[in-house]
């Protein structure tokens, strides 16, 4: 620039460079997903089959539905570790209701209501009393699942009506399961909520600087409460799907899912410190995790190895951005 | 420079100074923080260092404690030149500082806090607990207190903690003690206790540099004084020879009106009426009326309750009593959301923490409180957001590469433009500016002052909190002075002068 113009013009955006787009986390992750897909296709002759692939989606659809809500919560700077326990409690409630002869619509309503109530309880403790969410939800994690254990002991509920099976086992079109269709609808709905509404903008503001958000007139507590409610709702919906798919309820249902869901969110590029991330990233991360577990399953890798894999994945994805940042700043210095 | 030494020709009967600074200068980019400063500290003497914010007091303290290196000049201890290249060097020469808020550790014992970082060691390199406790006890004993050295810090009262902080400063065998506004957070009783300690230190022959805004305290405890203004030492001498008005004049004396482009605005009708506003602990009995186009300056010392009062007007904290009338209607404000809805907005003192979301782009920061306007049925419309941001960016001549760069990448002055723009976008009636030019370089300061003046001319009512006298004097139509949470006077532009304000703020009628 030579002489200063009289009235400075500031462009809306700097030109979006292709290299920046290509080096974004989401694109990187998409590459990983494709690589895993190809590797799976070579590793197992059973992989490239429409019905097998359709089956593979059940590995992640229920978790991903919760992961969408969890992503919003983590972006806002909070976390909910009680999601799997909410599934257990909601499933137990539905099982007890089914035992009492309540039909499918009633069961769905009960599952979703229990999810909402649990979410409201978490939200009240965190947003209402100002307690740290990680502690609150570790507490409610034991509390919710503990209630299931007291009700069920070593028993199981299993007498679900036949029509209830649709949510976990039904197909809407050819190989597209009801769960997969619901996953797509949720992905779109959450992407719109986070990226295209003022509510979504407020979530980012809160996650980046809670004080400045409050000083800008954002009702921080109300937003957080709604996010816990939303996470409870999605946990309730996931409980309906999972219970329907399994056809039975044990108190150990969905054990350890909170870890996989948080991993999915973080793998999707959502900062564990809050303030950044996209729903698109979480969708791709869901596919990556689903493909990996399915591929390992086809290769007869035992479940315990998969859990080691999930743990490693979580640590690596949290540390990678930090390591990269160090390397970059090291180069400059 | 010729006027530099205003006061006595007769120095007090001279014992050799324990510490002397000669011709010390220190510059930072754009600012000459200290300019050829001399100061002498004598054994058994308390020297008060007096000056406004930004006069160079804290730079001096940092040079004395080895944190900054002077650009020129020399420091002599016992008449021998020394260099304080590190904080350790300063400590080795017996210089120690007690800061406003010494960091102490709740979970550690009193003795551990006192000797943290330089605990006596056994010959195996482990902490020598016996020596640690014994020395701590001796140290506290010399301050004539009986605190259990094994007690955890969290079990102590505030006053006792303060003693521990002092003991910590003295634990390095100090001969020169710097106290940087030690009374800022203390009650009168605690101040009395502190003064007894200072008296004792004095009798032990230590040289003490006592930094304070409060004249009554200075007169009570100090024998000598040194006045700094704009980085220069403008006067020094013995307090018993000095007239207080003289010192105030030295401290503030400069022509203030030329740099501040306050335009005369015809004041309109009353917009905001505050009646007996009170908070349980921070302030009470605050009443005033604010008219259209008026700039009300809010002056006082740090800790006088000005920010707390403003934040309660903005709904961040709740008042315990009092009422608000906006354009003739009584209103209640429970949250910043309420305040914004009524047209009262607040530009906070801590820009980075409260004012902006540093990681978010400029346009998103500007639209944040106006999302209801820039979105339709809850859906964002980025064209509207950019248009809104552009309007204020151009108006304030914002310097940025694009409206989508994060606010955190801008300079302090430009960040302040974003914050003010964000609030103007809500079409407010009353705008509260809390230290609007704090941390802003001199060039941008003038720009900020110019548009504050412009806003008043457009009919906005402004409350401006500032600790800088020239800013208050130059910009305000009226000034409300607060002292220790209470109103200490409301002055018209006609009757405004620096000495009146300082006297009201420091409680020296």
String of DSSP letters for B436-495: TTTT--HHHHHHHHHHHHHHHHTT-EEEEE-S-HHHHHHH-SEEEEEETTEEEEEEESTT
Which tokens sit at B264? 């005369």
Of B220, B254, B288, which residue is a domain's last?
B254
Q: Are residues B286 and B358 in the same domain?
A: yes
Contact A63, A181 (CB under 8 A): no
Shortest distance between the Cα of B464 and any Cα of chain A, in A, equals 17
Of B228, B254, B280, which residue is a domain's last?
B254
Question: Tell me, what's the pLDDT at B13?
Answer: 55
In a domain, A207, yes or no: yes
Of B254, B269, B289, which residue is a domain's last?
B254
Q: Are residues B52 and B144 in the same domain?
A: yes
Shortest distance between the Cα of A278 and any Cα of chain B, in A, equals 15
Percent of chain B whose predicted confidence (pLDDT) is above 70: 91
Taking the C-alpha atoms of residue B73 and residue B86, their distance in angstroms, rounded to an integer, is 17
In a domain, A18, yes or no: no
Question: Tell me, what's the pLDDT at B14?
Answer: 61
Taking the C-alpha atoms of residue A250 and residue A91, their distance in angstroms, rounded to an integer, is 8
A211 touches chain B (CB under 8 A): yes
In a domain, B12, yes or no: no
How many domains, in total, are found in chain B? 2
Backbone angles phi, psi at B26, to 5 degrees: -150, 125
**What CATH number does residue B298 fall under?**
3.40.50.300
In a domain, A1, yes or no: no
What CA–CA distances, in Å, run from B470 to B255, B423, B437, B501?
A: 8, 25, 12, 11
Tens-digit pLDDT profile for residues A152-174: 998 999 999 999 999 999 999 99
Across B369-381, b (16+ Cβ under 10 Å) vs e yields bbbeebbeeeebe
In a domain, A269, yes or no: yes
Domain range spanning residue B30? 19-254
B360 touches chain A (CB under 8 A): yes
Nearest Cα residue to A108 out of A91, A121, A124, A122: A91
Tens-digit pLDDT profile for residues A78-120: 999 999 999 999 999 999 999 999 999 999 999 999 999 999 9
Question: Tell me, what's the pLDDT at B468?
Answer: 79
Tens-digit pLDDT profile for residues A114-157: 999 999 999 999 999 999 999 999 999 999 999 999 999 989 99
Provide the mean pLDDT of chain B: 85
Question: Tell me, what's the pLDDT at A17?
Answer: 65
Contact B230, B37 (CB under 8 A): no
Taking the C-alpha atoms of residue B502 and residue B509, their distance in angstroms, rounded to an integer, is 10
In a domain, B14, yes or no: no
Question: Tell me, what's the pLDDT at A3?
Answer: 40
Residue B458's CB is within 10 A of a number of other CB atoms, namely: 12
Most A CBs within 10 Å: which of B316, B350, B357, B401, as the mutation test of the A interface? B357
Which tokens sit at A253? 């249902």
- Say yes or no for a CB contact (<8 Å) between B359 and A218: no
Pairing of strands B224-229, B207-211: unpaired
Most B CBs within 10 Å: which of A12, A17, A195, A226, as the mutation test of the B interface? A12
Could you tell me the pLDDT band of residue A333, with boundaries at 50, 70 and 90?
A: very low
Domain range spanning residue A156? 51-319
Shortest distance between the Cα of B394 and any Cα of chain A, in A, equals 7
In a domain, A13, yes or no: no
Contact B47, B224 (CB under 8 A): yes
In a domain, A253, yes or no: yes
Which tokens sit at B350? 């801590």
Pairing of strands B19-28, B72-77: antiparallel
Question: Tell me, what's the pLDDT at B54?
Answer: 67
**What CATH number does residue A101 fall under?**
1.10.3470
Burial class (CB in 10 A: 0-12, 13-18, 19+), A315: exposed
Q: Are residues B267 and B144 in the same domain?
A: no
Question: Tell me, what's the pLDDT at B186?
Answer: 67
Q: Are residues B387 and B304 in the same domain?
A: yes
In a domain, A144, yes or no: yes
Which tokens sit at A277? 């991330």
Which tokens sit at A60? 């992640």
What CA–CA distances, in Å, run from A15 to A10, A18, B384, B394, B403?
A: 13, 9, 20, 20, 12
Contacts of B269 (CB under 8 A, 6+ apart): B291, B292
Backbone angles phi, psi at B319, to 5 degrees: -75, 155
Q: Give me the interface pTM, i.e. the ipTM.
A: 0.87
Taking the C-alpha atoms of residue B213 and residue B507, their distance in angstroms, rounded to an integer, is 11
Most B CBs within 10 Å: which of A7, A198, A202, A211, as the mutation test of the B interface? A198
Could you tell me the pLDDT band of residue B190, with boundaries at 50, 70 and 90?
A: confident
């Amino acid at each position: 620039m030579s002489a200063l113009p009289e009235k400075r013009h500031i462009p809306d955006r700097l030109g979006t460079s292709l290299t920046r787009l290509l080096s974004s986390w989401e694109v990187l992750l998409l590459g990983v997903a494709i690589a895993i897909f190809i590797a799976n296709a070579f590793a197992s002759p059973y992989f490239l089959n429409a019905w097998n692939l359709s089956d593979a989606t059940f590995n992640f659809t229920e978790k991903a539905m919760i992961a969408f809500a969890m992503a919003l919560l983590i972006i806002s700077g909070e976390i909910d570790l009680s999601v799997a326990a909410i599934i257990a409690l909601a499933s137990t409630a539905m099982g007890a209701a089914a035992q009492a002869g309540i039909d499918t619509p009633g069961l769905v309503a009960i599952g979703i209501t229990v999810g909402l109530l649990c979410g409201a309880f978490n939200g009240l403790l965190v947003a209402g009393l100002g307690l740290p969410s990680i502690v609150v939800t570790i507490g409610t994690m034991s509390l919710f699942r503990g209630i299931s254990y007291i009700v069920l002991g070593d028993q199981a509920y299993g007498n679900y009506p036949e029509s209830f099976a649709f949510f976990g086992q039904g197909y809407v079109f050819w190989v597209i399961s009801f769960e997969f269709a619901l996953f797509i609808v949720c992905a779109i709905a959450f992407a719109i909520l986070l990226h295209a509404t003022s509510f979504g903008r407020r979530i980012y503001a809160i996650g980046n600087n809670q004080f400045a958000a409050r000083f800008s007139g954002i009702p921080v507590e109300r937003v957080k409460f709604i996010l816990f409610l939303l996470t409870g709702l999605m946990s309730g919906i996931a409980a309906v799907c999972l219970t329907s798919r399994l056809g039975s309820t044990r108190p150990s249902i969905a054990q350890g899912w909170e870890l996989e869901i948080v991993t999915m969110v973080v793998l999707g590029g959502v900062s564990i410190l809050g303030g950044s991330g996209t729903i698109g990233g979480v969708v791709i991360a869901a596919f990556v995790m689903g493909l990996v577990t399915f591929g390992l399953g086809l290769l007869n890798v035992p479940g315990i190895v998969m859990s080691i894999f999930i743990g490693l994945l979580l640590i690596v994805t949290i540390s990678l951005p930090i390591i990269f940042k160090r390397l970059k700043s090291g180069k400059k210095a | 420079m010729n006027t530099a030494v205003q006061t006595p020709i007769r120095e007090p009967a001279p014992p050799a100074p324990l510490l002397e600074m000669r011709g010390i200068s220190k510059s930072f980019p754009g600012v000459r923080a200290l300019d050829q400063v001399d100061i002498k500290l004598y054994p058994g003497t308390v020297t008060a260092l007096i000056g406004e914010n930004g006069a160079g007091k804290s730079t001096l303290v940092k040079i004395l404690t080895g944190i900054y290196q002077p650009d020129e000049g020399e420091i002599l201890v016992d008449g021998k030149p020394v260099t304080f290249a590190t904080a350790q060097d300063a400590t080795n020469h017996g210089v120690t500082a007690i800061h406003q808020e010494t960091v102490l550790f709740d979970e550690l014992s009193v003795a551990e806090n006192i000797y943290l970082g330089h605990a006596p060691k056994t010959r195996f390199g482990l902490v020598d607990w016996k020596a640690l406790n014994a020395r701590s006890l001796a140290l506290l004993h010399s301050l004539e207190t009986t605190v259990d050295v094994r007690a955890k810090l969290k079990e102590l009262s505030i006053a006792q903690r303060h003693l521990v902080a002092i003991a910590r400063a003295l634990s390095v065998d100090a001969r020169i003690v710097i106290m940087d506004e030690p009374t800022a957070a203390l009650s009168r009783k605690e101040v009395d206790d502190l003064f007894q300690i200072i008296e004792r230190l004095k009798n032990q022959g230590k040289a003490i540099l006592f930094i304070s805004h409060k004249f009554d305290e200075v007169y009570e405890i100090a024998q000598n004084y040194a006045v700094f203004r704009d980085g220069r030492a403008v006067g020094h001498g013995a307090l018993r020879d000095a007239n207080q008005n003289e010192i105030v004049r030295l401290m503030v004396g400069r022509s203030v009106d030329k740099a501040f482009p306050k335009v005369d605005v015809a004041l309109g009708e009353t917009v905001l009426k505050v009646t007996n506003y009170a908070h349980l602990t921070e302030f009470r009995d605050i009443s005033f009326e604010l008219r259209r186009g008026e700039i009300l300056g809010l002056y006082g010392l740090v800790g006088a309750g000005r920010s707390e009062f403003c934040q309660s007007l903005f709904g961040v904290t709740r008042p315990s009593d009092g009422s608000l009338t906006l354009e003739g209607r009584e209103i209640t404000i429970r949250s910043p959301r309420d305040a914004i809805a009524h047209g009262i907005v607040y530009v906070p003192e801590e820009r980075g923490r409260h004012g902006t979301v540093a990681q978010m782009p400029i346009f998103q920061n500007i639209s944040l409180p106006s999302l209801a306007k820039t979105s339709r049925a809850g859906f964002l419309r980025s064209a509207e957001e950019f248009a809104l941001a552009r309007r204020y960016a151009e108006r304030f001549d914002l310097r940025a590469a694009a409206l989508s760069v994060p606010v955190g990448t801008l300079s302090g002055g430009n960040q302040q433009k974003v914050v003010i723009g964000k609030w103007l976008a809500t079409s407010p009636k009353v705008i509260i500016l809390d230290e609007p030019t704090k941390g802003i370089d001199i060039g941008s300061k003038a720009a900020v002052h110019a548009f504050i003046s412009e806003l008043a001319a457009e009919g906005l009512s402004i409350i401006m909190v500032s600790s800088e006298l020239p800013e208050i004097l130059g910009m305000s139509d009226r000034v409300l002075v607060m002292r220790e949470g209470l109103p200490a006077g409301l002055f018209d532009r006609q009757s405004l002068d620096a000495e009146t304000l300082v006297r009201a703020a420091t409680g020296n009628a």
